[in-house]
Structure 1
């Protein structure tokens, strides 16, 4: 059996992310594309596979409706209130069209709107997981999107590729399918390099220099191939393979799993992380940076040790106890972790031995700056 087909055959739960470039055209939402997608996902659903759909398109749909009404183009690229307003208008249209499209195939859908802030708290994260599990047990197809209207840090997740990767840890999917306008990954941007070669298989996504490979974005989405490969790298850490494939081609998702001529399959890592560590590392953007010395790097990367104040050379940013920080050595990011100290406290005890901590800032219940259970090395940030 073909390796891709074997993957699909073993899958019991699939998370599919579809981008704006697939779902929209100049006239707003492309209902034909939505019905085609609903049909493909419904056939997988009929095989007993749980389907979770992470969908873009709300902003583009709202922008088109207001352009028709005002007879002028609505610019949302650098205008957060306009983007959120467009999303508020378009979200209802998006779900209405999805409900109709899946209804043609006898499927029931549910709208799930989440924010990154809502997933920062472990209890809310687990509550969202429980809700999704109940929907899936009822054989409902959840359609997930960010709650753009109330997001306060840009659109918080930044793009639905990031949201899709975060949702993997939420639902425990077996495969991540990322439908885009390009038919897979190329060794360089094909829009700028005619000699770019397609990559049907990526065995080690962490070894790629994705910043060099991906120097462009699509015009209607907010991600581009960079965010898709970063999401795939995060999925690989969870042990989940990713298929990046065109959602606009004349083939089905099932056909893309039958041979290597469609899209790019990205294999998971051999050594995976727990869902809790995955959540810890990616629930938020780092609030600051801790620079460590070479000895601390060896202890962290090779020895699996906690980070002690003695190994810290510098502290940047302003953060409180328990916030996520980036760990850096010689300009290179090693990972992320939850700091046991505030930035002010760490600045005062940086480079000091454990016995000196209490003398400097008073009694504390912990010796580690970041405990090894609360950090993820080689994080895809």
Structure 2
């Protein structure tokens, strides 16, 4: 057995809790929700559950199910506006959950619907309440079925796609494995639809060094994120110390074969130095509200020497954000260095940028923060 097979075998044997994400490209056809896929998925997940594994399912498919349900409605135009799309999701979500309930009930399993928005992660008390609820469901041996609450989510509170949601759920549930079921058989060196020389990658040992932007340019038709968002989510999981398996959901018995450690899909190995859960939460709980551009010396201090960001190193401030907002930190070339919570509102930071700490009080008065962004409230090299 190869060294990689030994490593993945160890991951699988030690796995106690897994987050499984299944996307629209796997779950749906042009006619809507594919019930054969739903039932095969329930069959495999139930088998893993019978082995004592905690399983959390993050699912797409509500919008596709809703479109199918409204296809004969002349007044229903799901693409008309945001309210129409959210209405279609509301119609489809109940049908999606009904099919999961029916499928898992055949194996004596109890499912629990959990609908989340980014706001449930951004507010710390709501985040902890969601965590406690999910812990209780798992203690009761229920199978949480999680989807984004499209019906109420506004643009600022949307995850963008369920790959992003799944990465947040890994942190929320403290899972130790992430399986992403997709329409592709794994990760390739380039987009195989565009490049005939593209070759499959069986393992990514250090995803932090991978140029995801160059590799991934395409998106699947039914889904919203394509391989790009799957690799971003895998990178976030790696930062938590959680491995990811990206594998085709169309492959027969994909989950059973994956947990038997067959050579399939792409493994993304975890970081050797995981970040603190608090830093993960602050970096990804909501979208950055602005940008702080810094000079080369500050970029080196932050990225290479583990320093806080001082106002003296700031050369430009973009956006209108309050004190305590999450902001993106960019170097002089426009590359993301990190994200962090700003100690200053954008208007105040613009007034003191470039100034040494001892001169800042003359501009803003007493009680200033020595750091523009403290190291404890910053994540370097985030997966955005």
**With structure 1 as the length reference, what TM-score do the two structures score?**
0.96
Q: Structure 1 CA distance, aligned partners of 2:367 and 2:262? A: 56
Q: Structure 2 CA distance, aligned partners of 1:236 and 1:299? A: 24
Q: Structure 2 CA distance, aligned partners of 1:5 and 1:317? A: 47
**Pairs within 5 Å for 1:101-116:** 101-116=103-118
**Pairs within 5 Å for 1:1-381:** 2-3=5-6, 4-70=8-74, 74-76=77-79, 79-153=81-155, 156-259=158-261, 261-330=263-332, 331-381=334-384
Query: Deviation string for 1:254-281 (max 9, x for gaps)?
Result: 3124456421000011111011110100
Q: Which runs of 5+ in 1 are unaligned?
A: none
Q: Structure 1 CA distance, aligned partners of 2:228 and 2:50? A: 33
Contact 1:184 1:244 in 2 (8 A): yes
Q: State the 1:71 CA deviation.
A: 9.4
Contact 1:200 1:260 in 2 (8 A): no
Q: Structure 2 CA distance, aligned partners of 1:68 and 1:37? A: 29
Q: State the 1:81 CA deviation.
A: 2.4
Q: State the 1:83 CA deviation.
A: 1.9
Secondary structure of 1:149's counterpart equals coil
Contact 1:304 1:372 in 2 (8 A): yes
Contact 1:80 1:154 in 2 (8 A): no
Q: Structure 2 CA distance, aligned partners of 1:87 and 1:265? A: 32
Contact 2:25 2:222 in 1 (8 A): yes
Q: State the 1:79 CA deviation.
A: 3.9
Secondary structure of 1:173's counterpart equals coil
Contact 1:189 1:214 in 2 (8 A): yes
Q: State the 1:173 CA deviation.
A: 0.6
Contact 2:329 2:338 in 1 (8 A): yes
How many residue pairs get aligned? The number is: 379
Contact 1:115 1:147 in 2 (8 A): yes
Q: Which runs of 5+ in 2 are unaligned?
A: none
Query: Deviation string for 1:204-262 (max 9, x for gaps)?
Result: 11212111111111111111000000000010000000000011112331312445642
Contact 2:78 2:88 in 1 (8 A): no
Secondary structure of 2:108's counterpart equals coil
Query: Deviation string for 1:53-107 (max 9, x for gaps)?
Result: 10000011001111133398x553x843222111111000010000001111110
Name the Cα RMSD after superposition: 1.6
Contact 1:214 1:225 in 2 (8 A): yes
Q: Structure 2 CA distance, aligned partners of 1:319 and 1:172? A: 31
Q: Structure 2 CA distance, aligned partners of 1:114 and 1:99? A: 19
Secondary structure of 2:71's counterpart equals helix
Query: Deviation string for 1:310-359 (max 9, x for gaps)?
Result: 11111111100111000111211101000010000000000111112221
**More divergent stretch after superposition (363-372 vs 338-347):** 363-372
Q: Structure 2 CA distance, aligned partners of 1:135 and 1:171? A: 11
Query: Deviation string for 1:85-143 (max 9, x for gaps)?
Result: 11111000010000001111110000111110121111111111011001000000001
**With structure 2 as the length reference, what TM-score do the two structures score?**
0.95
Distance change in 2, residues 1:186/1:347 (3 Å): same
